[in-house]
Structure 1
Amino acid sequence: MLPLPFSRQPAHLTLLALACLSGHSAFAEEPVQLDSLQVTGEQVSEVEAAREELKRVPGATNVVDMAKVEQGRVVGVADVLAYQPGVYAQSPGNEGVKISVRGSGINRGPGSHASGTHIMLDGLPLTGPGGTPYELLEPLWISRAEVLRGANGFDRGSLALGGAIDYITHTGYTAPKLQLRYEAGSRGYQKRSIASGQVLGDFDYYFALTDSETDGYQDHSSGKGKGVAANFGYRLNENLETRFYLRYRETEHETPGRLTKAQLKDDPRQAAAANRSIDAHRDQPGSTWLANKTTWQIDDDATLVAGLAYHHYPMDFAETPYRDSAYRIRVDYSDVSATLNYTRRHTLFGLDSTTSVGLRSTTSLPSSKSRENATLPLTVDGNSYPAGTLMRAYEHLGSDNVLHFSNELELAPDLWLTSGLALIHTRREVEVTWPVNDYKLKESTWDYAPRIGLRYQLNPEVQLYGNISRSVEPPHAWSMIWSSNDYFPAGNGPATGRYRAPISLDNQTATTFEIGGRGDSILGQWELAYYYSQVRHELLSVEVAPAVQREVNASPTIHQGIEAGLISPLWQGGAAGALSLRQAYTFSDFHYRDDDRFGDNRLPGLPRHYYQAELRYDHPSGFYAGLNSQYASKVAVDYANSYYADAYATFGATLGYASPKDDWQAWLDLRNLTNKRYAATVTPGYNDNGADVARSTPGEGFGVYTGVSWSWL
């Protein structure tokens, strides 16, 4: 909650009081009356306040202002995270987005339960032992997104290699009283939204409804979704406030499958034949997130924030062929998360200091169970079974618990030392419960993650930083079943050939060094970071059969890279408008470290070079126009580096009008102007021996989208 605008007493009152206390004769005999001086602080937007707060982090961060993103098509979080250095976000053909920060989760569960980053909603965990489902990440519900890359997410309770991404929902303080938005475009795309937010004394609320539909770019890729988000805040007194959150959303979409490079070049809109034959699809029949966050300002220097969240996210999908048929998997996940964070400003060794203590705990509920049923009649070992036959049942439970301590100490003017230590306890319980329940795996591990960093304000325009940290990331509970190579033998009826016993997977750990800086210069606002990570037991996925992936611990790997961003004011024409250039470049070098089989091969799945840019003209009347581009270098599609998806470059354009009063806007968004055929994401195999295997999901071709938004402020 933002502080209200403040004012100070007239300066002459303060000076007069000091004079009386001093007993100076001149003031005692004849008080001096100074002219009144009223000093009023300007109210800072939440986005600007967030940027200033993240400048205290001795490492790389991003803040995304959704007001800018919404000046064009907003399908999913790939649009939210565009133009952000150090962040790779591409859609694999549906709402699910492959997000990787510093190579995090480079090939883990793309699109469905993406991992490698700790995803949060309003400072509370969304990521759990089962990964991160995507259906609740509706971008029109948020006012901003904060990305704390790598170990810089430490104070958010994140210990993942990629750090933390926090999606901050609108409240009554940031939302208009009423907002209507409509988007439409190529291939049957439509999106509708209605939202309202107000402040009513000590109470505020935000409420939003959205729904969307699309025929999809590929054949057999239609999808739709609908949902609601709300939060209600109440200020009990000037030091205590609480807020309740609700998110509910349903999605369903067809799954077109992946293509070979030859198929992609010939007709990128075709679907994989196997996916069409089994009517492959994935539904989220209704995910719910309920939460509360309460903030107590204990005194001027101490704050306590407590949070509690319940997350229920069932899935119902049939995407994988099995014995010339298909099977349907129904998963019923639910978990509970609790957070507690205490922060206090104080002095330490006579120096200004801030200490924080935090606890994050996410635990799966016993109701988290799964089952597989045949979707067509099935013949196994000479026996026939009807559609709907139960093939296998299992459960995967777990908990992630982090206790973290951190301190920020001002060693000298403009020089701060940040230190921290996290204690981590993870638990995984995985069991196949049908047709037998003799195969259960239960693991519990303790680990730690220290962190130390420095930041130096070289001058008012330039800040430098560096840090060394350790990260710890546990495996998905479900992957400990799906990565097994122990199958039910013949004679087990419909379960024959299904995974039988779970396997043990180690936690992924990494030691990371980072240096960089940010500031303003004659070239514009800039940021630059270099990182180097030595990763052990990296959790990597490999496709072992169509739509079947196995997760394994890799031999030692190296992740290093350069992240650069620059926003340059090219021309300031006053009443004639302004021209600016926004650029983001990410260099990624991820490779094995003397692997017995693959040597120093690159890790597949992500481009080595990734560049985005937008040249934009803004007129004071509200008119704007822009040209944008995206370039990605070639990507290995197997761990043997025997075959590559091609490099590509795409171009787009936007044209729009945003009223200076912020009450309405309209826009035209043109995507992939040259209709470039390219692979947006790849799902790697082990060793394709140079063959052109179906591993690529095509990126969207030329598309035209338009939209309008009206707000009652």
Structure 2
Amino acid sequence: MRVSLFALAASLAAVPAFAQEARPADIVVTGTPDTEQATREIQRTAGGVEIVPDTAFKGTPVQHIKDILAFVPGVIAQPRMGDDARVSIRGSGLSRAYGIRGISVYLDGIPMNTSDGLMDFFEIDPSAYRYVEIYKGGNALRFGSNALGGAINLVTPTGRDAAPFDARIDIGSYGYVKGQASAGGNAGNLDWFGTVSAQRIDGYREHSRGSAVRGNFNLGYRLSPNVETRFYLTAATTEQEIPGEVGKAAALGTPRAANPVWIAQDQQRNVDSVRISNRTSFRFGETRVDAGVFYNWRRVDHPIYQYLDYTVDDYGAFVRLVDERSIGGLRNRLTLGATLHNGTIDTEQFVNTAATKGALTASMIDRSRNFSFYAEDALSVLPQLSLIAGVQYLDAVRDRRDRFLSNGDQSGRRDFQLWSPKAGLLWDVRPGVQLFGNVSRSAEVPSFDANVVTATNLKPQRATTFEIGSRGRSGGVGWDVSLYRSRIDGELQCLTTGPFSPCSIVNAGKTVHQGAEIGVDAAVPLSAFASGDRLVLTGAYTYSDFRFDGDPLYGDNELPGVPKHYLRAELLYRHPGGFYAGPNVEWAPGRYFADNANTLTVDPYALLNLRAGFDASDGLSFYLEGRNLTDKHYISTVAIAGTAGPGAEIFNPGTGRAVHAGLRFEW
């Protein structure tokens, strides 16, 4: 977390988070709170949440999402190749080796997932955001999400909080080069912000070259003191070679080698995308309303085991109301919202011959319709104690029209109606210290790559999660602790069935996800080399105990995919003049499994990293960072199987020793 909630909360510690009276500085008309306002807002959540400000990650290469989420307990990000990474929160999408499942991703509060629920990270520019919000599990109800893993909200600057000009250049091992420039400003009621980045990388492994150009722009206009509208435009074009999974011996013995079949097929993932949206915010006394519309277009050119060529057209609308007033002398906060998210995926599939389209093998139109309604009420029954109750309703339709009938008609339609209630409490024990607890339900509909419309026995994944925890700061020490237990019925697993085929989606039956998420930070004054210098310790520990619960085939075996223990820790020396330096570690002690049968394991690993930099007062800064300095051979990601033999090609090696450097100027 580095800075995260702890340091930001220090300035708010004098007033209990929920008990604060609304002040003019707290009132956000624009719909885009600054980092301090967002911190104050997120602390009203009765569960595990985090904010990662840009100051915590823009002093690194910020190549992919892991560079943002690395110090958030409960989140495990496992890079695959290029910008791609598998992200799991509390075991969400545990078996997915590609894309993201079980987490709702938002850009400035606007949905990024496709309408059937999938998401990948090729479109995300990690260096473009002011801060990133993480809502774990049922705590994401504020956006109407009811996914097991919760939600990630990426928030871009506006012209009212951005520097007039900001530019940086990053270079690193394996041909990594990235440049970025942004500008922002305002004139009266109008403000604007834009950022563009371009990068390329040769890749640690063979056949992993990649490049990307991305842009994020927004334009806001304040129509009156209580009304503002903001338009967003995001565009990206990415090209990425895929080196492919290999056997365990190859992953650890010759980690830079690609799978020869992937090379022969010239497997790639090339994506062009455009997102256009609007959000308008209104304030009527004690009530605020955000309403908006969005359209997302994506073209994917994707030669893999076959040549996939598909276009995604998603569109929708949302409205969210927050009302804060006293009821019978008790403070109350009511949230109501609704989201319509529809879309079409137009897919053609061909025989892949070295990234050349062969004979047509499949053609289909997939349509998704999603309507969700959610409500949450927080009643302050005592000045420091709030009771929370909420519910989400999802009406989802998945419809496929098969246009390639020589292998039979795969057309079909499935309808789902799912309710997900929630209850919790938030206690401000004293200024700056909170206790919380909640129980919530979640529900996830299978996506189209699960062949949801023809697999009539495939059902939605349902879970009940119990959580307790605490966050706060005492003296120079901050903490954030959550303990949770999820009982899941019909967990969706994506099992690898062969070396050159897509995974097969199944319901796993009854499973249990339980664990602990522990984050700490501490600043120790030194005054060793200068008055005000200090040591800053940041740590994030995630304990994940995921297992089957009396499964007829796998008994009480452990669920594969992520390490049981995972630790990130950093110790930095900071000089008041702007210099900083120190080591950090990534440690996954103990083996974990690669298959449901628990026959094949992933070895433990520990990575030693070191970073140093200087932030000058005139806006100039630079950094130098070394990663995996011992050049440890380890496995970063595994594509899980039901039962995997010793030679199963399901492993992605982690990156070896790498050095990065960057220069940034802010004016």
After TM superposition, the score normalised by the length of structure 2 is 0.92
Whole-Å separation in 1 of the counterparts to 2:580 and 2:50: 24
The answer to whether residue 263 in structure 2 is matched with residue 276 in structure 1 is yes
Equivalent position of 1:534 in the other structure: 487
Query: Structure 1 residue 313 and structure 2 residue 298: aligned?
Result: yes
**TM superposition shift of 1:348:** 2.9
Contact 1:430 1:478 survives alignment (8 Å): no
- Give % identity: 31
On the 8 A contact 2:228/2:280 being kept in 1, the answer is: yes
- The aligned counterpart of 1:553 is 507
Q: By how many angstroms is 1:394 displaced?
A: 1.5
Q: 1:468 aligns with which of 439, 460, 483?
A: 439
Deviations along 1:408-438, one digit per CA (max 9) or x if unpaired, are: 1011120000111111111111232113573
SS at structure 1 position matched to 2:569: strand
Q: Go from structure 1 to structure 2 and tell me whether the alpha carbon gap of 1:363 and 1:637 turns closer, same or farther (over 3 Å shift).
A: same
Matches within 5 A, 1:437-452: 438-452=409-423
Q: Residue deviations 1:618-668, cap 9 Å, x none? A: 11111111210001132211110101010100010111111234x121110
TM-score by length of 1: 0.86
> Over residues 496-526 of structure 1, what are the superposed CA-to-partner deviations in whole Å (9 max), with x where a residue is unaligned?
xxxxx55552111100100000111256000
Structure 1 letter corresponding to 2:644:
D
Matched with 1:669 is: 625
Q: Contact 1:63–1:146 (CA<8 Å) still a contact in 2?
A: yes
- Seen in structure 2, the aligned counterparts of structure 1 residues 542 and 440 have a Cα distance that, compared at 3 Å, is same
Q: 1:41–1:119: structure 2 CA closer, same or farther, 3 Å change rule? A: closer
- Out of 672, 675, 698, the position equivalent to 2:653 is 698
| Contact preservation (8 Å) 2:123, 2:238 | no
Corresponding residue of 1:624: 580
Please name the residue that 1:191 is paired with: 178
The question of 1:125 aligning with 2:78 is answered no
Q: Which residue of 2 aligns with 1:303?
A: 288
What whole-Å deviation, never above 9, does each CA across 1:578-602 have from its counterpart, x for those lacking one? 1011000000011111000100111
8 Å CA contact 1:441–1:503 kept in 2: the answer is no
Q: Distance in 1 between matches of 2:288 and 2:327?
A: 18
Alignment match, 1:515: 468
Distance 1:453 1:420 in 2: 9
- Structure 1 counterpart of 2:559: 603
Unaligned runs of 5+ in 2: 1-22
The one-letter amino acid of 2:524's match is L
* Aligned positions of 1:199-278 closer than 5 A: 199-278=186-265
Letter in 2 for 1:394: M
Larger deviation, residues 664-673 vs 86-95: 86-95
Q: Deviations over 1:450-508 (max 9, x none)?
A: 11100111111311000011011111123216xx9xxxxxxxxxxxxxxxx55552111
Aligned to 2:129: 142
Structure number with greater CO (CA < 8 Å, separation at least 6) is 2
Amino acid at match of 1:389: A
Deviations 1:154-184 (A, max 9, x none): 1111100011100001211222111111000
Label 1:248 to 1:447 Cα distance change in 2 as closer, same or farther (>3 A): same
Return the alpha-carbon distance in structure 1 between the equivalents of residues 25 and 555 of structure 2: 60
Per-residue Cα deviation, 1:227-280 (whole angstroms, up to 9, x for no partner): 211000010110000100001001111110112221122211011111111111
- Between the aligned partners of 1:631 and 1:255, the Cα distance in structure 2 is 26
Post-superposition Cα deviations, 1:131-171, rounded to whole Å, max 9, x if no partner, equal: 11322211121111000101000111110001110000121
* Aligned with 2:516 (options 523, 539, 562): 562
CA distance in 1, matches of 2:437, 2:643: 38
Match of 1:456 in 2: 427
SS of corresponding position for 1:688: coil
**Kept after mapping to 1: 8 A contact 2:266/2:354:** no
Does 1:347 pair with 2:326? yes
Equivalenced residues, count = 635
Aligned to 1:433: 403
Change over 3 Å in CA distance of 1:470–1:524 after alignment to 2:
same
Asked if the contact 1:480–1:503 (Cα under 8 Å) also holds between the matched residues in 2, the reply is no
Q: Partners of 2:624 and 2:24 in 1: how far apart?
A: 40
Matches within 5 A, 1:26-45: none
In structure 1, distance between residues paired with 2:140 and 2:354: 49
Alignment of 1:67-146 (within 5 A): 67-108=55-96, 110-111=97-98, 113-127=99-113, 128-146=115-133
Task: Pick the aligned partner of 1:641 from 595, 598, 621.
Answer: 598
Answer yes or no: is 1:369 the counterpart of 2:341. Answer: no
Shift of 1:84: 0.6
Aligned to 1:584: 540
Q: Aligned to 1:596, what secondary structure does the other structure show?
A: coil
1:478 aligns with 2:443: no
Distance 1:43 1:396 in 2: 42
Equivalent-residue separation in structure 1 for 2:346 and 2:457 (angstroms): 19
Contact 1:185 1:704 in 2 (8 A): yes
In structure 2, C-alpha distance between the alignment counterparts of 1:342 and 1:208, rounded to whole Å = 30
Does the 8 Å CA contact 1:439/1:502 hold for their aligned counterparts?
no
Distance in 1 between the 2:298 and 2:470 partners? 40
8 Å Cα contact 1:397/1:477 also seen in 2:
no
Larger Rg computed on CA atoms: 1
Letter in 2 for 1:76: H
Q: Distance in 1 between the 2:201 and 2:599 partners?
A: 36
Distance of aligned partners of 1:52 and 1:328 in 2 relative to their CA distance in 1, 3 Å threshold: same
In the alignment, the residues of structure 2 paired with residue 527 and residue 439 of structure 1 have an alpha-carbon distance, to the nearest angstrom, of 49
- Segment of structure 1 superposing worse, 472-481 or 449-458: 472-481
The match for 1:52 among 40, 43, 51 is 40
Q: Residue 263 of structure 2: SS of its match in structure 1? A: helix
Which AA in structure 1 matches 2:147?
A
Once residues 450 and 376 of structure 1 are traced to their aligned partners in structure 2, the CA distance between those partners, rounded to angstroms, is 50
Distance 1:40 1:535, change over 3 A: closer
Question: What's the offset of the Cα at 1:60?
Answer: 0.6
By how many angstroms is 1:42 displaced? 11
Query: Contact between 1:632 and 1:647, CA under 8 Å: does it hold in 2?
Result: yes
What is the RMSD of the two structures over their aligned residues, measured on CA atoms? Answer: 2.0
Contact 1:179 1:196 in 2 (8 A): yes
Q: Deviations over 1:13-64 (max 9, x none)?
A: xxxxxxxxxxxxxxxxxxxxxxxxxx99799992222122111000010101
624-633 or 259-268: which moved more? 259-268
Question: Is contact 1:104-1:115 (8 Å) kept?
Answer: yes
CA contact (8 A) 1:441 1:502 kept: no
Deviation string for 1:327-368 (max 9, x for gaps)?
311011111121101111223343111111100121013xx2
Q: Which runs of 5+ in 1 are unaligned?
A: 1-38, 321-326, 379-385, 485-500
Shift of 1:306: 0.2
Using the TM superposition, name which of 201-210 and 426-435 deviates more: 426-435
Q: Aligned partners of 1:672 and 1:81: how far apart in 2?
A: 18
Q: Which amino acid aligns with 1:376?
A: T
Cα distance in structure 2, aligned partners of 1:57 and 1:41: 20
Q: Distance in 2 between matches of 1:62 and 1:295?
A: 24
1:21 — aligned with what? none
* Contact 1:585/1:610 (<8 A) preserved: yes
The whole-number CA distance in structure 2 between the counterparts of 1:400 and 1:42 is: 33
Compared CA separation, residues 42 and 657, structure 1 to 2 (3 A) = farther
Residues 1:318 and 1:400: Cα distance change in structure 2 (over 3 Å)? same
